[in-house]
Amino acid sequence: NAGVTQTPKFRVLKTGQSMTLLCAQDMNHEYMYWYRQDPGMGLRLIHYSVGEGTTAKGEVPDGYNVSRLKKQNFLLGLESAAPSQTSVYFCASSYPVGDTQYFGPGTRLTVL
């Protein structure tokens, strides 16, 4: 049981490049989330999904897109990376309302 895994762990992009971050969970959780963590700002929700095929915007969705084609996977895409997207990205998953969220180890992204 691997829990929540994230790929890649580190990435450096140039401004304007695109990339996709992959989150996978093996706990059969319905809900999945993408957060970013920045110094002095704390963790902020980017997008989330309440089930396969669904997505919804969080607190800071601009510049990101997501997809949940399979229940176990939640993808976060950056179409045209900007330096303001330099951050640590965390994925999390949970059962529906009332349960704890389980976090992945994070992806450290630097945009030059």
Q: Does 96 bind another protein (CB under 8 A)?
A: yes
Q: Does 61 bind another protein (CB under 8 A)?
A: no
Q: Which residues lie closer than 8 Å to 49 by C-beta, 6 or more apart?
A: 31, 32, 33, 55, 56, 66, 68, 74
- Residue 54 has which token pair? 């669904």
Residues binding another protein: number (CB under 8 A): 27
Q: How far is the CB of 32 from another protein (least distance, A)?
A: 11
3-state class of 21 per DSSP?
strand
Selected binder of another protein within 2, 14, 42, 62 (CB under 8 A):
42
Distance CA 26, CA 57 (A): 24
Selected binder of another protein within 81, 94, 109, 111 (CB under 8 A):
94
Which chain residues interact with another protein by CB under 8 A? Answer: 4, 31, 33, 40-45, 48, 50, 56, 58, 90, 92, 94, 96-106
